[in-house]
Amino acid sequence: MASLKRQNGTVETDIRLIQEGLAPLGVDLQYWPTGGSERLQALLAQASLDDNEKEELLQALDHYFEQLKRNAGYQTRDLIVIHADLPNLDAMLAKFDKCHTHADDEVRYVVDGEGVFGFVLPDGQQVELTMAAGDYINVPHSTEHWFRLTPMRRVKAVRYFTSTAGWVPEYTATPICL
């Protein structure tokens, strides 16, 4: 389940209060259970997956994708699998650990592990949202944010796209205070 750390050090774990805290940014946070088939749980437990296993996992969760296609016009999805033994992990993560925006929404559904999205609120305060399995987020385009892993250094997330063209990070000069 998600938790929100505020710049003053307080931590919120109630999803409704987290949603309220992110509302000024238009961020949509929801909890979507992954389901319980034994095969799905076995795939989620693996640190790495081959392309066939990724597709199998995606297909097992496609009921959410079908909703997004109908309701929001999403066209494609993929699965990113990040773990501590991934070659060039730190270089890959360095692209996203600085404040940036995107021309398109950033939509993620964490199905295993943990990741942290940081945000700059309209008043300049900063917050960090730690996401875990079952947490879905839609970060609207042009929202200043950053991403990093927790010390677990493992996350599997379904990424949803209306188009991949607008997903290049556009860095801002905002320093991260958390």
63 assigned to a ligand binding site: no
Residue 84 confidence (pLDDT): 93
* Domains in the chain: boundaries: 3-165
Is the pLDDT at 107 greater than 80? The verdict is: yes
Is the pLDDT at 6 greater than 80? The verdict is: yes
100 assigned to a ligand binding site: yes
What phi and psi values does residue 72 have, to the nearest 5 degrees?
-135, 5
145 assigned to a ligand binding site: yes
Residue 166 confidence (pLDDT): 62
Is the pLDDT at 162 greater than 90? The verdict is: no
Specify the DSSP element, H or E, that contains 158: strand 154-161
83 assigned to a ligand binding site: no
User: Residue 116: which residues within 8 A CB-CB, separation 6 or more?
Assistant: 128, 129, 130, 131, 147, 148, 149, 150
Is the pLDDT at 32 greater than 80? The verdict is: yes
Residue 164 confidence (pLDDT): 67
DSSP secondary structure, 113-174, as one string = EEEEEEEE-TTS-EEEEEEETTEEEEE-TT--EEEEE-TT-EEEEEEEES-SGGGS-EE--P
Q: What is the pLDDT of residues 108-131, one digit of tens each?
A: 999 999 999 999 999 999 999 999
Residue 178 confidence (pLDDT): 82
Topology of domain 3-165, CATH: Jelly Rolls (2.60.120)
Banded model confidence at residue 73, pLDDT cuts 50, 70, 90: confident
Residue 136 confidence (pLDDT): 96
Residue 35 confidence (pLDDT): 82
